[in-house]
Structure 1
Amino acid sequence: MIFDQLFNSRSEPLENPKVSLSAENALDEIFGSSGATTQVTAETSMKLAAVYSCVYVLSSSIAQLPLHVLRRKGKDVEAARDHPLFYLLHDEPNQWQTSYKMREYNQSAVLLNGNAYLNIKRKSNGEITEIETLEADSVQLLKNNNRYFYAYYGENARAIPPEDIIHIKSLGPSIKTGKSVIQQHAETIGLGIDSKAFASSFFGSNARPSGIVSMKTALNSNAWDRFKEMWKKASLDLQGKENKTILLPAELDYKALTVSPVDTELLSMMKLNRSEIAGIFNVPAHMINDLERATFSNISEQTIQFIRYSLMPWIVNWEQEINRKVFTKAERKAGYYVKFNLGGIMRGTAKERAEFYHYAITDGWMSRNEVRAFEDLNPVDGLDSFLVSVNAAQPVPDSKEIEEEKDNG
């Protein structure tokens, strides 16, 4: 029965003693890794600074882009503000989230869990009234009588047909569901978690001494105990904080220990792991505050590269999935579609925008009021006309034409 499949336990394969815990299904279930001692899950991965930074950069970048419902009429394109979906996608899709928070959460869900699910709720006449976000770990794709459906195990558990689910998938071996980056690279991320835990325990518990005190004369056990107590008191000030300077008697000699090769190797390994994680998420290292090799001489080009190769694959993923699920055939035929507005994030510096607008106006393909609209300025009467420079309006004669004019003259 369909409800038997809906409410069955998803951990049943692992509870079966005939199933080996080293099998692939166990690895996928717990996101485990043979190379890391820490269990790698979405929650533990987010405690690693590099993973959190990559997820935040991609999720916040997708969320901050305006999402508009547009309508194409012949050669013209206009914002379809009268369509009910415009408010839902642009402002408030459901009672718990704004449009920003909806996209931020679901983009992070795709990165951490491999899938994001949004339930489309409709009236009896087909009009969409709400787009509800479903917790990614509470949804499972099931099949019953040759028909697929999404089983939701959260509050108000229910079976949802595929046409009522906006399903954003990450890259994976299956065409029906995605596989998270955390699962596919559990060993690399687990290594980063273990390195962080080791460094924290090693340096935080003062396992590595900062220096060595040597004595010129031998001490008996009682004198040695009194010396240790004296050193402990001398190392702390009245507030219990560590003193930076300690005066030593002539019989004592202190030698500070420099960073050992093992410590240096640990730091290098942590930097390398951070760079690898940035590459896994396809995020430039400088955008997660890894500024060791960063240069800001070409910041505009770096931004364009980030948009083109990091954001655009996700933007196209979102646009195509939303367009095929929220509009009817009649609406698509009427020219309705959804599109992210990249204008704000690609504005560039003030100097670059001024040069761009100058050429656009003088070449005659952009009016001055259109420029003012891009800069969030009100239109001004008389600036709707297109200007064309004299050189652009009158083509310059070539050398052959000049010679012919001389001969005729």
Structure 2
Amino acid sequence: MLDWMIETRNLENPDKPLDLSEEANWSASGESVNENTAGKLAAVYSCIGVLGRSLGQLPLHVLRKVDGKVTRATDHPVYYLLHDEPNSMQTSYDWRETIMVHVNGWGNGYSPIERDRHGTVVGLDLLRPWESSLFRSSSNRWVYSVSSDELPLKSVNPDDMLHFKAIGSNGLIGRSPILQCAETFALGQASQRYGNRFFGGGGRPAAIVSAKGQLNKESWNILKTAWKQAKRALRDEDNNTLMLPAELDYNQLTIAPEDAQFLETRKFNRSEIAGIYNVPSHMINDLDKATFSNISEQAIQFVRHTMIPWVVKFEQEMNRKLFTQAERRAGYYVKFNLNGLLRGTSKDRAEFYTKAIRDGWMTRNEVRELEEMNQADGLDKFLMSADLQPKVVGDKNEKR
């Protein structure tokens, strides 16, 4: 069972597994970039949070399609796990949100599938990405290895592991977006560190201060003490004036933030990070170029070009591993409902529903269900506006 421990091989480096152990990339700015350091940037935290919350809030159901009719498969054991509680420690929302954080931070999200002795899925656990590795065994099989301080070392068959991946070079394991774009994140870390040091020093650039006249040892000590007390007063009392007992020369050494375009650099870096995660800037509270009209359009683009690819990735991985071939042939599948992200305002929804009912492809009860309202008698028929009714050939009233 543990043949993966013997003569393991790797597509990229035969001496190492395809793992996700914490890696440090030294950038041109001298910053060490990894998932933990970059995660302290507000833009990174915001982007990953937006993606995690967006996926977590989507309704997730197990459906069954038979003879063209789709129904919710509430009797399937996977339904409760995905819709309510995948394991004893998490809700469905928490499970999906955490996996998205892992994928967008470390490049991979792992969730082992727990089955009973009959092969029925009874639980979906969650692993931290740095505790999981993908090995190729001596028998040429891919196997996941799991090790942590809390759990003993064990192997997991790929059929029993939900593996959600970011973009990678070999299709087997994802690459951390943070390590892939390390220089961009390093610039954010460097500018943040510069700002912290600048304001931590009392909000003044570093400089050389020298006395214009000669000082003896006693005068020099008095001056040093007075300088330290004055700087402390700047920080503690928000005082903008230094009171010193001597005439001094002040020579600035560092560049002031406005000269270094500090604010512009930070804004540009936030925009770049949002671009890496394909998150609209206004969703991480960058409203410099936001208007009401373009925010609405960007929200739609976010669903189409950011969330739908993630939804398809999650659906395909879950469909192929949570259901047997017989179940898939019987019509079982997993489906996210994206309507929650596209609901819009009450006016937008009313116009959408009106057109759907008028054009005859939604019933009024289907609309009520989407609005979390109980169904009513007599509202299950499809309606169609009179001007959309097909003409009858040979109708005497037909205009010639």
Which interval holds the TM-score relative to the shorter structure? 0.7 to 0.9
Gapped regions of structure 1 (runs ≥ 5):
20-24, 211-217, 405-409
The TM-score, its normalising length taken from structure 1, stands at 0.80
| Contact 1:168/1:318 (8 A) holds in 2 | yes
Shift of 1:363: 2.4
Residue 120 of structure 1 and its aligned partner are, at CA, apart by 0.7
Per-residue Cα deviation, 1:302-330 (whole angstroms, up to 9, x for no partner)? 21100111111111111101101010011
Displacement of 1:149 in angstroms is 0.7
Give the conservation status (yes or no) of the 8 Å contact 1:53–1:288: yes
Q: 1:373 aligns with which of 359, 369, 375?
A: 369
Alpha-carbon RMSD across the aligned residues, in angstroms, is 4.1
CA contact (8 A) 1:28 1:183 kept: no
Whether 1:203 aligns to 2:199 is yes
Asked which structure has the greater CA Rg, the reply is 1
Distance in 1, matches of 2:377 and 2:226, equals: 85
Matches within 5 A, 1:198-277: 198-206=194-202, 208=204, 241-243=237-239, 260=256, 262-277=258-273
- Alpha-carbon distance in structure 2 between the residues aligned to 1:204 and 1:122: 55
The corresponding residue for 1:303 is 299
Shift of 1:204: 2.2
Matching of residues 391-406 of structure 1 within 5 Å: 391-393=387-389, 404=400
| Sequence identity percentage | 45
The Cα offsets for residues 110-159 of structure 1, whole Å up to 9 and x where unpaired, read as 11111111111111111111111111101111122211111101213211
Give the Cα separation in 2 of the matches to 1:33 and 1:220.
46
* Count of residue correspondences: 382
Q: 1:205 to 1:384 in 2, by over 3 A?
A: same
Q: Is 1:187 aligned with 2:187?
A: no
Residue 27 of structure 2 is aligned to residue 31 of structure 1: no
Q: CA deviation at 1:177?
A: 1.0
SS at match of 1:359: helix
Residue 210 of structure 2 corresponds to none
Aligned CA distance change for structure 1 residues 396 and 363 (closer, same or farther; 3 Å): farther
CA distance in 2: counterparts of 1:269 and 1:104, whole angstroms: 30
- Show structure 2 runs of 5+ residues with no match: 207-212
Q: Structure 1, residues 93-122: CA drift from partner, whole Å, max 9, x if none?
A: 111111111111111111111111111111
Would the alpha carbon gap of residues 28 and 93 (structure 1) be closer, same or farther in structure 2, given more than 3 Å must change? Answer: closer
Of 125, 135, 139, the match for 2:132: 139
When residues 7 and 273 of structure 1 are mapped into structure 2, their CA distance, relative to the original with a 3 A threshold, is: farther
Relative to structure 1, the CA distance from residue 186 to residue 7 in structure 2 (aligned partners, 3 Å threshold; closer, same or farther) is farther
Do the aligned residues in 1 keep the contact of 2:185 with 2:273 (CA within 8 Å)?
A: yes
**1:263 shift after superposition:** 4.0
CA distance in 2, matches of 1:344, 1:295: 23
Alignment pair present for 1:325 and 2:314: no
Deviation at 1:176, TM superposition (A): 1.2
Cα distance in structure 2, aligned partners of 1:233 and 1:149: 64
- AA matched with 1:5: M
What is aligned with 1:68?
A: 61
Q: For the structure 1 residues 146 and 338, does the alpha-carbon distance in structure 2 shift closer, same or farther, using more than 3 Å as the test?
A: same
SS at the partner of 1:290?
coil
Structure 1 residue 85, shift from structure 2 partner: 0.3
TM-score by length of 2: 0.82
Corresponding residue number in structure 1 for 2:284:
288
Deviates more, 1:31-40 or 1:267-276: 31-40
Q: Judging changes above 3 Å, is the alpha-carbon distance between structure 1 residues 31 and 314 closer, same or farther for their aligned structure 2 residues?
A: farther
Deviations 1:175-205, CA, capped at 9 Å, x for gaps: 2111110111112111211110111101221
Q: Which residue of 2 aligns with 1:47?
A: 40
Residue 165 (structure 2) aligns with: 169
- Whole-Å Cα distance in 2 between the matches of residues 91 and 309 of structure 1? 27
- Residue 396 of structure 1 and its aligned partner are, at CA, apart by 11
